[in-house]
Structures are given as C-alpha cells and as structure tokens.
Structure 1
Amino acid sequence: MSDDLTEFLRKRLDEDAELAGRCDGDGCGQWTAHGHTVDFCQVDLSGLHPTIAEHVALHDPARVLREVAAKRRILTRHVLSPAVGDPELPWDNRDDCNWDGEAWPCADLLDLALPYSDHPDFQEQWLPHQIRTR
C-alpha cells in the first residue's frame, strides 16, 4: 500500500495549522466565551447561543495548533514499514506500522483521518473497519 494516507493527513494538518495561524492576527491569547458572546481578543462576536459560543471559543487558534502538533507527532511515529525489502520481514508478509507492528495503515492513522472523511480526497478504504461494516 502506498503512503497516500500519510500524505493526505500531512496536507490536512498543514491546512488546519495555516488557517489557525491566520485566525490569530496579533497572537492575543485564548478566545473566551461569555454567555452569547465570543471574545476573540480583537473583537467580540455576540448573538450566539451560549453553547455555540463555548464551542467556538474552545477551538481558538492556540488549541488548534497544539492539536496539529500532537497529531503530527502521532503521524511521525506511525510510519509505513513495507514488507518488500524489509530484512525483518513482517510475520504475515504484509506492510505494517513501524510503531506498533499492526497492519498498515494502523488503527491510529485511520482514527486521525476520520475527521476528514468529508474531504473530497478522502478514500473510503481509510474508514476504520468497524465503521465500514455498519
């Protein structure tokens, strides 16, 4: 199997980080919700349902960038270990995950991809098995 999933995830994480970076114009700090209003440091947005305001504030750029960094570390750990040319050929002569030895792509990579399943480049084969069979 090719490394398409890894490339797909890297691109999505790059997009998430780039957008988060554009939303933090002056690096002011954490977004906060106050009732029907989200304080974006530079401007307030009011008229939102309090639950929506909390949700928006929870996804401030600093948090998104921390999530992207964590996901990139996971992606770095879970690299493809191809069976072809591997001196320690996987037991089942299959491509496996260098981190956990599971069949590649491993469940962790499939879970990282799942939030992007609505992206036009997402491939159905990347759905975790338990979701594909429902």
Structure 2
Amino acid sequence: MTDDLVAFLRARYDEDAEAAKDAAKRAAAELATADRKADRFLPPYDGSHWSNDYDHVHVHDHRPERSRRRVQIADCGHGAIALTSHIARHDPERVLAEVEAKRAIVDQYAEVAENDGANAYEYDRGWVNALRESARLLALPYAAHPDYRDEWRP
C-alpha cells in the first residue's frame, strides 16, 4: 500500500504543478501581449501575482519597469466574484508552494514507511502512524481520480 499511495500522490502533485506552470506561462504571455500592444519590449516574466475584482481575474507584474501594471486574464461573467476570487487565490505561485509542502510530507512518509528508516522510538511516539494518516488525508481530495483506492480512505 505504501509504495502505491506514495506513487499516486507524487503523480497527482506532478499534474498539479504542471497545470500551475501552464497557467503561469499563459499569464506571462498575456503580460507580454500587453507590452507589445503598448510598444514595450520587456523580458518574459513568470513570477506574477493574481487578483480579482468582481467578475475579472488579473495578473500583476510588480517590477518597477512595468509600473505595477495589471492585465485581465479572465472574464467570468457578471456577478462571478466568488469564482474569480477562487481563481485568484489559487494562483500558480501558491499552488506550486503547496505542492512542494505536500511533497515534503509524502517524502517523509516514504522514508519511514515499512520501518525503512524509522526506529522504535519513532514508532513508539506515533510518528509513522501520523505520517501514514497524513498521506491518506492528502490523497482524499483526489478520491474521484480513477487510480484512487478506497483502502486509502482515512
């Protein structure tokens, strides 16, 4: 179970990271397009910040040469503030940071699972069980994925 759960989580995190990077590239392309329209030629940028106002999602570039500009990247329709707020809160930078934190937990679990790297003290103190339950909880948001197994449910 351990190897399969670890592999499952790592695959999902790879997918999440790839989607976030794709979104960041799209946002960078939107900034570059806005620069071309304004007759500005600045280097590509992929470390943007996302925000929302009512029914629009914006990407911000805070470098001084861009004058703290923002470019609209999505229009979700009238009154869609909840949707745009959700999109902005899950900007690529945040998603990538969350993926790295979750990977660290999974890596710790993989290291001590099946007693490979765990000692009696770690077992006695519940460290291994806590990491196992954490890994199961981390898999729960992916329960609808076809590779998810019910045996992983906490």
Whether these two folds match at TM > 0.5 is yes
Q: How does 1:1-134 map to 2 (within 5 A)?
A: 1-25=1-25, 26=28, 27-41=46-60, 43-46=72-75, 47=77, 49-79=80-110, 80-82=112-114, 100-102=127-129, 106-128=132-154
Structure 2 gap segments, 5+ residues each: 29-45, 61-70
State the shift of 1:86 in Å: 8.6
Decide which moves more: 51-60 or 26-35: 26-35
The structure carrying a bigger helix percent of its residues is 2
Structure 1 gap segments, 5+ residues each: 91-95, 129-134
State the shift of 1:31 in Å: 1.1
What is the TM-score when the length of structure 2 is the normalising length? 0.67
What is the TM-score when the length of structure 1 is the normalising length? 0.76
Matched position secondary structure for 1:82: helix
Report the identity percentage: 36
CA distance in 2, matches of 1:86, 1:68: 24
State the shift of 1:17 in Å: 0.4
Equivalenced residue count is 119
Larger radius of gyration: 2
